[in-house]
Amino acid sequence: MATLQSAVGEGAPNRNPDVVAVQTLLKQAGLYPFKADGDCGPKTKAAILKLQKGFLTHPDGRVDPNGATWTRLVAAAAQGGTITSEWSGDSSRWTQDKKLLSMEPFLRARVVMIVTDLKLQGFQPKIFFGWRSVAVQEQLFKQGNTKVHFSFHNGQKPDGTPNAYAADIVDSRWGWGDEAETNGFWAALGKSAKAHGLVWGGDWVTFKDVAHVQSRQNSELAATKTESGL
Ligand SMILES: [Zn+2]
């Protein structure tokens, strides 16, 4: 595998062989349909930005040796396209199956059990969010719907494949409406989640998040971010 001696892109040293390596990978990833000439101009920088927009909150147009962008670029080139393309768009609109696939395996299995439990009780559970991108997370932050820039919903493998440690589950008839509370949906969700070893957001005092379940403790958030290459 190619390696970089120094950074490529915006404000970087842009050594000719490093630029050729980055351009070649961008080309294999389908992001740069030009000649790998070793000259880091606007087209190369635009291609780097395009790659970064899929997974970074603040794209900087720069590929650092062994950095998150480099890891992502190598993975995208290896599979002949950006991983983000198949996982792009509004993840709240994905099918239930795709939302399940976007979760890490332990959480996925528990969410399936919770959905079954709730259906047996006459509810109509629906996964609203499994994984979501950090770009969507940023929008939710600006709207005041979350207090963190990185959440367990943003968990991913270093190559960018979704690997969420959180899911939001609602009843399709009520969403976050009052009926969900009065009909006991949140209580039933919390009970089932905890019975299956998950953390339920309805137990939080400072920021009660009744639809939210997660497979890790809040104290593991920073580690999850690092593991995600973010
Ligand atoms: Zn959530």
In a domain, 1, yes or no: no
| Residue-number span of the structural domain to which 32 is assigned | 8-86
In a domain, 215, yes or no: yes
**Could you give the CA distance from residue 114 to residue 166 in angstroms, rounded to a whole number?**
13
- Of the given ranges (110-119, 124-133, 150-159, 166-175), which has the lowest mean pLDDT? 150-159
* Residue 133 alpha carbon to ligand 1 centre in Å: 13
Residue 180 has what pLDDT?
Answer: 98
- Do 115 and 149 sit in the same domain of this protein? yes
pLDDT in tens, 187-202: 999 999 999 999 999 9
> How far separated are the first and last CA of the chain, in Å rounded?
22
Chain-centre distance for alpha carbon 140: 13
* Residue 68 alpha carbon to ligand 1 centre in Å: 25
Residue 1 has what pLDDT?
Answer: 62
pLDDT in tens, 55-81: 787 899 999 998 889 988 988 888 777
DSSP state, residue 229 = T
CATH number at residue 52: 1.10.101
* Residue 85 alpha carbon to ligand 1 centre in Å: 23
pLDDT in tens, 8-62: 999 999 999 999 999 999 998 888 988 999 999 999 999 999 898 877 878 999 9
- Do 180 and 137 sit in the same domain of this protein? yes
